[in-house]
Chains A and B, each alone.
Chain A
Amino acid sequence: MTQDQIMNDVASVLRDFNGREYHDAIGPDTLFFGDLGLASIDAVLLGETLEERYGRKLPFHLFMADLGRRAQRDLPLGELVEFLHRHLNPA
């Protein structure tokens, strides 16, 4: 899967996610917390939703742990897409 395809998947999930809509453009620079107004629990839920979508377990615990260690805790979606791309297309 290409990063663009994954970005489209993520955007379509977040367009109407957990009772909240988002109708602006969603791209790699869109911020999970700041722009989408989501919370860390939502990140866990998003992980579950994406696992269902792709039909496989993904090591979100690693991704989230890294997120927690950063001083700037917001998440540009591009980073999530990169993570997904890496694990959906193992070398």
Chain B
Amino acid sequence: MIPTNTYPMQTRLNGCREEVIPSSVAPGWESEAFVLRGDDRADLIRRAQSLADFLAAHPQNESKDLAFTLNAALAPSGSRLAIVASSSAELHSRLTHAIERLADPRCRQIKDSRGIYYFDEPLHPRGKLALLFPGEGSQYLNMLGDLLPHFPEVSEHFARCDRISLRAGQLDEPISRRIFTSSSLTDAQRDIAEKELWRLGNAVSSILISEWALYLLLRELGLPFDVVGGHSAGEFSALLASGCIEPDDFFIEQLFALARILQGQEDDGSLAEIALLAVAAGRGSVVELLGSNAGAIVAMDNCPHQTVVACSPVAAESAQEKLKQRGIVCERLPFRRPYHTPLFKPFLDPIEAMYGRLQIRPPRVPLYSCTTGQPFPTDPEAIRRLAVAHWAAPVEFIRLAETMYADGVRLFVECGPRGNLTSFLQDILRGKPCEAVAVNLSQRSGLAQLNHLVALLSAQHVPLHLNHLYERRDPQRIDWEPRNGNLAVVESRSARAEIMQQYLSTMDQFLDLQRDTMEQYLERRRCVSPIRRPVWPLLGQVVRHEPGRELVLRRSMDVNEDLYAGDHTLGGRDASSIDPTQHGLPFMPMAFSLEMMAEAASLLRPGLLVVGMKRVRLQRWIPFDDEPIALELTARVRPEAPNEVAIEIRDFGNAVRPSNAETPAVVGTVVMDTHYPEPPPSEGFPLTNERACGLTPHRLYAGERHLFHGPLFEALDSTDRQGDEGIEGHLRTLPFTGLFRSTPEPDLLLDPLLIDASTHLLGCWHLSQADRIGRTVLPYELGSVTLYGPRPEIGTRIKCRVRIDAISARRVSHRIDLIGADDSLWCRLAPAEYWRFYWPLEYVDFFRQKERFLLAKDWPIVPDPSVRCLRLDPPSDLCQPVHRTALARVTLSRAEWNRFRLLKGSEQELTDWLFSRIAAKDAVRAAWQERYGQHLYPADIELDVRADGTATARHLGAGSVEKMPRVALAAIPGTCAAAAAFGREVRLSLMRRDGEPEASVLCR
């Protein structure tokens, strides 16, 4: 993955390169979209008034946080008001205006240009939504430049196209240099840059690149579209969006090649020179007026107020004069290509050849033709013919729009820069119930128009994934809405007292009933024999045992014996295509530490049941090593509380991985008794902004690999519902077979798999939050664990509720309830305290799918496109020894891992060693992917690094080094870098100057 917000765009300024967007910190947004929902119009007015009251009382609130609070919890249907505003004061003013309008029953809709949107009868979902792509003429200098720092999918696409444009040799500089200019250009320089952008080759490629970048943004926003269409060259993008053509590197290469040929035709004068006139009148009037003007041909029937005609330059003069006399606005367009006229027919060969090289499939989404104004055929050859013919046939945009409307389309989204098609559509469908909106306008900033788009579509009830707007902005929820309790203040005291009396009376009846039920239930439980003859697998050898007082155990922790550890690996699973057993760093699950404590306490105090634990603190994680490590457990009965056993677990490590055993890794107290405690009465689990969970167990485990657990731990059965306060799902108790090699059927006191799986549901809630950064959570403390009965039978379906009790920048506090089929609580963990880790998103993505994502970022310091230079700044959270080791397990080959494992050095040296190799592997992977289109796992590449910083890379699957690029790597504290090139020797030096890293690359 190319990180986007650090991608420095090259721009044109007096022939020198200048970085316009150099910062890795995205600037703030000048406005926000706020979408407010009510169950109906009256409820919407009430909520709008509450929000206005809140804003009046809290004018300093952060707009981003308020927008996130409203939008992330947006439920479907209802009544919606959407507002774009740049401050609390502006939002308050617009809300006040909207409330006044909504209070008037005659008001059926609000569509205020400032950004206030409300529709009594929303167009979605009863009307279809069309995605439309504009063609040449939509490009403008710096288009989308202000979106780059905010949306990785946009900047990544530009970066990708830059690389391809250089690699394919079609351009002598990155295509983005033709689009982005410095703001300090003089008018003359700007004119030159604009003319360059309007040259045929640049025009076609820049417009298609830009609209595909916007398409990727809309895809992240989850925009649902029913049909697609394209205007002129925009038909290429429509073919991609409909699924007819694969939007891969090959297509982009072909696009650049075609652009170059078309430009060549224009430059060598082989294209007939014509003039294009945009006439502000309908086709009929224009034909009538210019009919006698020899050679005037309609090239584009855009809308009733714009027809583009082509004619010879001489004829254009007289046509313009004629139009002027009639007072008709006419503009001569700044290009002179005769396409969309029969004059272009002799030049169709390169376009036909390009389509011939592309694999065409039937459209997955209905695709409309701007040649016929009708849907495309589904036969690939017929699609190809019609797409080629479009270039020599008039653009029939009015027909396309009218057909789409007749086919039920009511919402049109223009996916491209400038917004021309939106104006055409508004003109064509004037007075009809429909809506056209552009993703981007040349006269508005990119973010402002995006907010208007989001607001308008949300008000029209188009479902959008609005969290995407906040994913990299660290939003916070704001508690803006008055609670019911506050509202009750307006009730009279006597009314309140009466309500309370009724409530208490009802509760008394309920508790009586519950008491009877519980007594019967407990009687049944007491019949369970507390004494077992178990095979407890985690106890190990008894070092010292004073019955009833103290017990010391030693347990060798061995990945060959503790098979569960192999399915519980930090850094995720599947690190290699060659070795399916290579996963992340195995470490002891907290639930297995609890089981070990329970087993030890039961041995020390036989005859008592483990009914809970207190203050269990994980002071250090316990990672496994390739060789066994030693744990020592000490259990002491607390003299002042004989039913409580204090436990300490120390990690002695091994010779290779020593550990500080002076302080225990885990401490806690096991609570024992003769009976399980009485479970509290069952209670509801109301959730604010309740919604379904998008992340299913399949997506979490196997599909998108969000969790690092293997099959032995996959006990999450369903993710049912979630809201602001937490999440509810179901777990299924799994068999214990296969957890221990020497004990195929262990007898576990707790159910560590079930307890561990409750944390998977917890992770699911965090993964569903918009601010994905800081959502890597790992446990460090359990305030209490309470068991209300013996562990459930294998195969039982258990309801699990995770409530979020408190959240801060570094910690999250939860309550976890495990509830049996009879709706009684089996186990409660509260508080379950977790650390939050701020792994950069590329690391989170990488740990999920190691072959797909890079950790290092493009560092375009070398003008030669055949050299890939990447930079990797080790993030502090990933430099912690356990995390660093996990990273090494999934990025190094077995041989490299064996070296790293035995390496001696300072923390800095270990970090540099590892991260510089990761950077080098990423440079090799990036170059390989670019040349061959294949994704490689870093662990499948082995580096032979020489003292001068050059290295030979070998792919372990192929074994050969000949095909691999050569690579050089370097590290200074805080920064690692690497450069790779095929068939050339590469050298790299890295230094820090004025606090900033600088690299120089030599390539021969």
Q: Which A residues have a C-beta under 8 Å from some C-beta of B?
A: 18-24, 31, 33-42, 44-45, 47, 57-61, 64-65, 68, 71, 73-74
* Interchain CB contact under 8 A, A42 and B329: no
Query: Whose C-beta in chain B lies nearest to the C-beta of A36?
Result: B113
Chain B contacts with A in 382-437, Cβ cutoff 8 A: 419-420, 422-424, 426-427, 430
Closest to A63 in B: B329
Interface centre among B113, B419, B420, by most chain A C-beta atoms within 10 angstroms, is: B113
A16 CA / B171 CA spacing, docked (Å): 48
Whether A23 lies near B112 (C-beta < 8 A) is yes
Interfacial chain A residues near B191, Cβ < 8 Å: 71
Whether B306 contacts A24 by the Cβ 8 Å rule is no
**Which of B112, B190, B329, B424 is A22 in contact with, Cβ under 8 Å?**
B112
- A19 touching B329, Cβ below 8 Å: no
Do residues B190 and A71 form an inter-chain contact, with CB atoms below 8 A? yes
Contact at B331–A19, with CB atoms within 8 Å?
no
Q: Do B327 and A60 have beta carbons less than 8 Å apart? A: yes
B797: CB under 8 A from chain A? no
Contact between A42 and B423, CB atoms less than 8 A apart = yes
**A37-B444, A41-B303, A42-B423 given as contacts; is B331 within 8 A of A68 (CB)?**
yes
Q: A20-B112, A22-B112, A36-B113 are in contact. Are A44 and B187 (CB under 8 A)?
A: no
- Report whether A18 and B331 are in contact in the complex, using a CB–CB cutoff of 8 Å: no
- Indicate whether B114 reaches chain A with its CB closer than 8 angstroms: yes
Measured CA separation A88–B424 after assembly (Å)? 30
Cβ of B331 and Cβ of A37 under 8 Å apart? no
- Select one of B114, B329, B419 contacting A47, CB under 8 A: B329
B residues within 8 A CB of A68? 331
Contacts of B187 in A (CB 8 A): 71
Chain A residues within 8 Å of B884, by CB: none
Q: Measured between alpha carbons, how far is A62 from B444 in the docked complex, in Å?
A: 25
**Nearest Cβ in chain A — how far from B17, in angstroms?**
24
How many Å from the CB of A70 to the closest CB on chain B?
A: 10
Q: Is B113 within 8 A of A64, CB to CB?
A: no
Q: A61-B323, A61-B324 are in contact. Are A40 and B423 (CB under 8 A)?
A: yes
In the complex, chain B residues 287-346 whose Cβ is within 8 Å of any chain A Cβ: 303, 305-306, 323-324, 327-331
B-side contacts of A58, CB under 8 Å: 327
Q: Are A41 and B419 in contact (CB under 8 A)?
A: no
Instruction: Kindly state the separation between the CA atoms of A23 and B422 in the bound complex, as whole angstroms.
Output: 22
Given the interface pairs A41-B305, A42-B423, A44-B280, the reply to whether A21 lies near B331 with Cβ below 8 Å is no
Determine whether the beta carbon of B444 is less than 8 Å from that of A34.
yes
In the docked arrangement, what's the CA distance between A44 and B285, Å? 15
Q: In the complex, A36→B191 CA distance in Å?
A: 27
Check B113 against A35 for contact (C-beta < 8 Å).
Answer: yes
Q: Are B426 and A60 in contact (CB under 8 A)?
A: no
6 A–B pairs (Cβ distance < 8 Å), ordered by A: A34-B443, A34-B444, A37-B444, A42-B423, A57-B327, A73-B443
Are B419 and A45 in contact, CB atoms less than 8 angstroms apart? no
Q: In the complex, A61→B420 CA distance in Å?
A: 19
Task: Look across to chain B and name the residue whose beta carbon is closest to the beta carbon of A48.
Answer: B305
By a CB distance below 8 angstroms, the chain B residues around A33 are 441, 443-444
Question: Which one of B111, B280, B306, B331 contacts A20 once the chains associate, using CB atoms below 8 Å?
Answer: B111
CB <8 Å contact, A39 and B422: yes
Known: A20-B111, A22-B114, A23-B97. A41 touches B424 (CB 8 A): yes
Q: Nearest Cβ in chain A — how far from B138, in angstroms?
A: 12
Q: Select which of B112, B424, B430 is within 8 A of A21 by beta carbon.
A: B112
Contact A65 to B306, CB < 8 A, known contacts A35-B113, A44-B280, A74-B443: no
Confirm or deny: B1001 has a beta carbon within 8 angstroms of a beta carbon on chain A: no
Q: Can you name the residue of chain A whose Cβ is closest to the Cβ of B334?
A: A68
CB pair B426–A24 under 8 Å, yes or no, is no
Please indicate the chain A residues that have their CB under 8 angstroms from the CB of B97 in the complex. 23
> Are B419 and A22 within 8 A (Cβ)?
no
Distance between A51 CB and nearest chain B CB, rounded to angstroms: 9
Residue of B324, B420, B443, B444 with most chain A CB atoms under a 10 A cut-off: B443
B110/A21 in contact, CB under 8 A? yes
Distance in angstroms between the alpha carbons of A69 and B330 in the assembled complex: 12
A41 vs B425: C-alpha distance when bound (angstroms): 10
- In the complex, the chain B residue whose C-beta lies closest to that of A19 is B111
**Chain B positions 490 through 519: 1 when the CB is less than 8 Å from some CB of chain A, otherwise 0:** 000000000000000000000000000000
In the complex, what residue of chain A is closest to B112 when comparing beta carbons?
A21
Bound-complex Cα distance A34 to B328 (A): 25
Q: How far is the CA of A39 from the CA of B423 in the complex (A)?
A: 6
Q: Which residues of A contact B427 (CB under 8 A)?
A: 41, 45
- Which residues on the A side are within 8 Å of B116 (C-beta)? 21
Q: Of the candidates B331, B423, B444, B452, which one forms a contact with A64 in the assembled complex, judged by CB atoms under 8 Å apart?
A: B331
B719-740 contact mask (Cβ, 8 Å, vs A): 1 or 0: 0000000000000000000000
Extra contacts, 11 of them, besides A34-B444, A37-B441 (Cβ < 8 A), are A20-B111, A20-B113, A23-B97, A23-B112, A34-B443, A41-B280, A41-B424, A47-B329, A64-B280, A65-B331, A71-B187
Query: Complex formed: what's the CA distance from A58 to B328 in Å?
Result: 10
Q: Which residues of B contact A34 (CB under 8 A)?
A: 443-444
Residues of A within 8 A of B442 (CB): 73
A20→B426 CA distance, assembly (Å): 11
Given A34-B444, A45-B305, also A18-B328 (CB < 8 A): no
Instruction: Answer whether A41 and B426 are a contact pair too, CB < 8 Å, given A22-B113, A23-B97, A34-B443.
Output: yes
Q: Which residue of A19, A31, A71 is within 8 Å of B426 (Cβ)?
A: A19
Contact B419 A44, beta carbon cutoff 8 Å: no
Of all chain A residues, the one with the shortest Cβ separation from B438 is: A39
Q: Mark B99-114, 1 if CB is under 8 A from A, else 0.
A: 0000000000011111
Contact between chains at A41 and B324 (CB < 8 Å):
no
B329:A64 contact, CB within 8 angstroms: yes
When C-beta atoms are compared, the residue in chain A nearest to B425 turns out to be A41
Q: Give the complex CA separation of A18 and B187 in angstroms.
A: 34
Q: Which residues of B contact A74 (CB under 8 A)?
A: 443
Compute how far the CA of A20 lies from the CA of B115 in the bound complex, rounded to whole angstroms. Answer: 10
Decide: B114 and A61 in contact? CB cutoff 8 A.
no
Contact residues in A for B303 (Cβ distance below 8 Å):
41
**Chain B residues near A44 (CB, 8 Å)?**
280, 305-306, 329
Which residues on B sit within 8 Å (CB–CB) of A57?
A: 327
Minimum C-beta distance from B286 to chain A (A): 14
Residues of B within 8 A of A37 (CB): 113, 441, 444, 452
Does the CB pair A61–B330 fall under 8 Å?
A: yes
- In chain B between 709 and 724, which residues have their CB closer than 8 angstroms to a CB of chain A? none
Q: Closest chain B residue to A64 by CB distance? A: B329
The docked-state distance in angstroms from the alpha carbon of A21 to that of B441 is 19
Name the distance in Å between A36's Cβ and chain B's nearest Cβ.
5
CB neighbors of A among B440-484 (8 A): 441-444, 452
B305 pairs with A61, CB closer than 8 A? no
Task: Find B327's partner among A35, A42, A59 (CB 8 Å cutoff).
Answer: A59
Q: In the complex, A44 Cα to B306 Cα: how many Å?
A: 10
Shortest distance from the beta carbon of B502 to any chain A beta carbon, whole Å: 48
Output the least CB separation between B275 and chain A (Å). Answer: 15
Identify A61's interface contact among B112, B306, B328, CB under 8 A.
B328
Residue of B nearest to A18 (CB): B426
Task: Please report the C-alpha to C-alpha distance between residue A71 and residue B305 in the assembled complex, in whole angstroms.
Answer: 23
Q: How far is the CA of A47 from the CA of B328 in the complex (A)?
A: 11
A74 to B327, CA, bound (A): 22
Residue of A nearest to B424 (CB): A41
**Complex Cα distance A39/B422, Å?**
9
A47: B residues at CB distance < 8 A = 329
Chain B residues near A23 (CB, 8 Å)?
97, 112, 114
Smallest distance from the beta carbon of A33 to chain B beta carbons, Å? 4
Q: In the complex the two chains form, is B114's CB within 8 Å of A24's CB?
A: yes
Q: Which residues of B contact A61 (CB under 8 A)?
A: 280, 323-324, 327-330
Beyond A39-B422, A40-B423, A65-B329, is A21–B324 a contact (Cβ under 8 Å)? no
CA distance A9 to B175 in the complex (A): 47
Query: How far, in whole Å, are A41 and B306 apart by their CA atoms in the complex?
Result: 8
Q: For B323, what are the chain A residues with a Cβ–Cβ distance below 8 Å?
A: 61
Q: How far apart sit A86 and B888, CA to CA, in the bound complex (Å)?
A: 76
Name the 3 nearest CB pairs between A and B, nearest first.
Answer: A33-B443, A39-B423, A37-B113
What residues of A have a CB within 8 angstroms of the CB of B112 in the complex? Answer: 20-23
Bound CA–CA A73/B280 (angstroms): 17
